[in-house]
């Protein structure tokens, strides 16, 4: 359903513009980075950096299945963009995460653990046979990446951009994780509860699909949708969500 709604170029452009700003602001707010005046240069630059990273991952062509080399390079590039150029390589010191008891990967093992991570992820995706399993795969990948904690900073912002990209790539509406779900989200990560995190991702994805349909409906009512390319089955799902 997600990709089918996105086949209309006018809708896709408008939706992704809306999505990018919500992802950027939500991720920064989740980490307490948006306290203060939104008109200030500091806050504006933070959002600008997030948008640069989101634009990069969605607008640059990537392999359907990332190799070890492509994956590590992508991580470094996203971290560099979200940090405004302050982070461009893996950390070289032990990680200290405030409020967490999880032992993060030692610096000398980061690249090795990332290689295992992408190997496992590719294998699981290749053998996935239902939508809910995709949420579990993404949740497990997300937690493992954050527990590896490859960078001195920007790990959460980087991981959430990767999450949004992966979900779109696999025909799932992306998750916009806001501060209202922060405790639940952080508790799942801290406790390695990937099944709980998968249910959160599923709920947020369904909520995002409803947001997409609301925007599609508004544009359709205003005559901004050139044509409807959905199949009969997809039209029925669209109508069900709209309550028609």
For every residue of 215-242, DSSP letters joined together read: HHHHHHHTT--------HHHHHHHHHHH
pLDDT, greater one: 132 or 80: 80
3-state secondary structure at position 213: helix
Contacts of 224 (CB under 8 A, 6+ apart): 10, 11, 14
- Residue 231, pLDDT > 70, answer no
Distance CA 116, CA 200 (A): 25
% of the chain with per-residue pLDDT over 70? 89
Q: What is the pLDDT of residue 41?
A: 87
- Residue 52, pLDDT > 50, answer yes
- Whether 242 is in a domain gets the answer no
Structure tokens at 89: 């390589």
Q: What is the pLDDT of residue 74?
A: 97
Residue span of the structural domain in which 138 resides? 2-236
- Whether 90 is in a domain gets the answer yes
- Whether 152 is in a domain gets the answer yes
Least confident segment among 20-24, 43-47, 91-95, 226-230: 226-230
CATH code at 69?
Answer: 1.10.3290.10
What's the pLDDT tens digit per position in 173-230? Answer: 999 999 999 999 999 999 999 999 999 999 999 999 999 888 888 888 887 776 555 6
- Whether 244 is in a domain gets the answer no
Number of domains in the chain: 1
- Residue 8, pLDDT > 70, answer no
pLDDT band for position 159 (cuts 50, 70, 90): very high
């Amino acid at each position: 359903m997600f990709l089918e709604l996105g086949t209309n170029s006018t809708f896709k452009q408008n939706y992704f513009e809306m999505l990018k700003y919500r992802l950027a602001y939500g991720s920064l707010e989740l980490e307490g980075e948006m306290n203060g005046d939104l008109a200030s240069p500091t806050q504006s630059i933070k959002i600008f950096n997030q948008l640069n990273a989101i634009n990069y991952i969605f607008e640059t062509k990537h392999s359907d299945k990332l190799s070890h080399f492509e994956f590590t390079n992508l991580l470094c590039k996203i971290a560099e963009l979200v940090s405004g150029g302050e982070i461009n390589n893996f950390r070289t010191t032990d990680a200290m995460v405030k409020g967490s008891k999880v032992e993060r990967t030692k610096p000398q093992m980061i690249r090795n653990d990332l290689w295992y991570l992408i190997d496992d992820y590719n294998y699981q995706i290749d053998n996935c046979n239902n939508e809910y399993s995709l949420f579990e795969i993404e949740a497990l990948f997300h937690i493992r990446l954050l527990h590896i904690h490859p960078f001195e900073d920007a790990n959460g912002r980087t991981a959430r951009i990767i999450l949004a990209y992966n979900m779109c790539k696999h025909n799932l509406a992306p998750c916009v994780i806001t501060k209202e779900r922060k405790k639940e989200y952080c508790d799942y990560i801290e406790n390695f509860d990937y099944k709980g995190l998968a249910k959160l991702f599923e709920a947020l994805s369904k909520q995002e699909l409803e947001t997409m349909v609301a925007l599609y409906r508004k544009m359709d009512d205003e005559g901004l949708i050139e044509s409807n390319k959905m199949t009969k089955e997809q039209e029925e799902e669209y109508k069900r969500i709209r309550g028609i």
